[in-house]
Amino acid sequence: MILYSTNKRSPRVSFEAALFQGLAPDAGLYFPSSYPKFTKQEIRNLIGKPLPEIGYQVLNKWLSDEIDSVSLAKIAKAALDFPIPIKQVGPYYVLELFHGPTNSFKDVAARVLAQLMNHYLLRRKQKMTLFVATSGDTGGAVAQAFSDTRRVDVFVLFPKGRVSSLQEEQLTRVGKNVRPIEVEGTFDDCQSLVKKAIIDRELQWLNISSANSINIGRLLPQSIYYWYAYSRLKKRNIEFVVPTGNMGNITAGLLAYKTGMPVSTFLAATNRNNSLVRYLATRKFIPKKSVSTLSNAMDVGNPSNFTRIMELFSHNHLELKRLIKASSISDSQTIQTIKSVYKKYHYLLDPHSAVAWAAAGKRVKAKGPTLLLSTASPLKFADEIFKSTGIKFDSYWRKLPFMRRRKKKISVENSYPAFKNAVLTQLKVI
């Protein structure tokens, strides 16, 4: 696979190079120069196959020119070792993506990313430093996937006071090689610090990359669960309803579409951080400072993957609008949705999945099945859900093994010099 920078000012690179660079030298995101296609027969062959097999087929379609099939099969089997059930709840299908180690959809991509990087690092006999900015779930998934990995040092940046109780515990009770950094700012600020570090020439000796969806190695594996959902529903006109923050999730779905997956519509479900909704309505993409909401993992005012969506549609606004719809949901609507769905179906949604449900409810009934991507377990938000809805359930996570680890974090102000100094201090360089 050959990739180019969305800023068009850097050389084209292989997948391996893009994986370890994370961000192109011109600060653009790496993007495939072409899309491999599944044939109709290959698509039929996916129906009913187990998740690791579908994961292998998707990875092999993209990476067969760089990684041998035996290694790709091992990567998929090791990473995708948990179930992804589909449940029918009232009028919708719900794809439960939260049965991995950290109860978040981010486990899928983070675990595949870890396996891919370890594959190359073992071959190279190298070490690396990995940075990840998180608004909630990504950091926990990456920390778990890379925890105690000898060849990788991990720095997890999260915004102070903007993650749930469980999310912070998962971010800060981690392996020796993982270093959580609490930033006085927003997710966008954390992401900006990561991007600056990646292109900082003074830090190149650290062999830095990113585990955010700016890294193509994090993004591609997310398309696996779209293909898995299709293989189970076996419908050509599915409407996927996608909780949307940094736009990596919906971009992965669009990549599945570009490789041949039949689909009716993608509905981007956003909270008050609704830059995509505004773009579809006005043709103007205007980043704004992120605002804090109940669905905190989607609190992104300047989503990085928007530039990739533009590449997918060759900056054609009309074509984009034909396939993507978007809706913005308030916290009050989110709370009401959690309450009403629980009362009517005795099914508990986390705030992000509730945003998706509410967005689907605002749409005219789709011609085919509507599938909601449920991105996090409600158990991750037990305290927050109880405070806002009065629905109480067991916060079982307080008894999980990771809670026996010592809690650790360092706090830094929102400035690159302070952050850089903290990184070098943690690595005992200064």
Q: Dig out the tokens for 36 from the structure.
A: 């491999």
Cα–Cα distance for residue pair 59/65, rounded to 1 Å? 11
Length of the chain: 430
Instruction: Supply the mean pLDDT for the chain.
Output: 93
Average pLDDT over residues 254-267: 96
Q: What is the pLDDT at residue 397?
A: 65
Residues 182-239: tens digit of each pLDDT: 999 998 899 999 999 999 999 999 999 999 888 999 999 999 999 999 999 987 789 9
**Kind of pairing, strands 208-210 and 128-133?**
parallel
Average pLDDT over residues 128-142: 89
Residues 321-380: tens digit of each pLDDT: 999 999 999 999 999 999 999 999 999 999 999 999 999 999 877 778 999 999 999 988
Alpha carbon dihedral 382, 385, 388, 389, in 10-degree steps, equals -110
Q: What is the pLDDT at residue 395?
A: 63
Neighbours of 317 (CB within 10 A): 13
- For residue 59, pLDDT over 90 is answered with yes
Q: What is the pLDDT at residue 7?
A: 97
Which residues are within 8 A (CB) of 204 and not within 5 positions of it... i.e. 6 or more apart?
none
- For residue 398, pLDDT over 70 is answered with no
Q: What is the pLDDT at residue 363?
A: 86
- For residue 262, pLDDT over 80 is answered with yes
Handedness of CA 345, 349, 355, 357 (dihedral sign): negative
Q: Which domains does the chain have, with CATH numbers?
A: 77-102+220-389 (3.40.50.1100)
DSSP code for 132: E
Closest to 94 measured CA to CA, from 424, 365, 353: 353
- Give residue 237's Cα distance to chain centre: 24
**Beta-ladder partners of 155:** 131, 179
Q: What is the pLDDT at residue 235?
A: 77
Q: What is the pLDDT at residue 429?
A: 63
Cα–Cα distance for residue pair 327/278, rounded to 1 Å? 10
Cα–Cα distance for residue pair 108/105, rounded to 1 Å? 6
Q: What is the pLDDT at residue 193?
A: 96
- The residue with greater pLDDT, 165 or 369, is 369
Q: What is the pLDDT at residue 383?
A: 78
pTM of model > 0.95: no
376, HSE (Cβ side, Cα atoms, 13 Å): 28
Q: What is the pLDDT at residue 255?
A: 98
- Any idea what the Cα angle at residue 51 is, between residues 47 and 56, rounded to 5°? 95
Average pLDDT over residues 9-26: 96
Long-range contacts of 349-352 (CB under 8 A, 24+ apart): 349/374, 349/378, 350/98, 350/374, 350/375, 350/376, 350/377, 350/378, 350/380, 350/381, 350/385, 351/293, 351/294, 351/295, 351/296, 351/381, 351/384, 351/385, 352/243, 352/295, 352/297, 352/298, 352/376
Neighbours of 118 (CB within 10 A): 18
Closest to 330 measured CA to CA, from 349, 358, 350, 366: 358
- Buried/exposed code over 128-151 (b: 16+ C-beta within 10 A; e: otherwise): bbbbbbbbbbbbbbbbbbbbebeb
Q: What is the pLDDT at residue 335?
A: 95
**Kind of pairing, strands 370-374 and 92-96?**
parallel
In the numeric block, the tokens 């916060």 are attached to 395
In the numeric block, the tokens 């590449």 are attached to 311
User: Of all residues in the chain, what percent carry a pLDDT higher than 70?
Assistant: 98
List C-alpha distances in Å: 283 to 224, 239, 290, 300. 30, 23, 20, 19
List C-alpha distances in Å: 91 to 87, 140, 349, 358. 11, 32, 15, 12
- For residue 394, pLDDT over 70 is answered with no
Cα–Cα distance for residue pair 221/227, rounded to 1 Å? 11
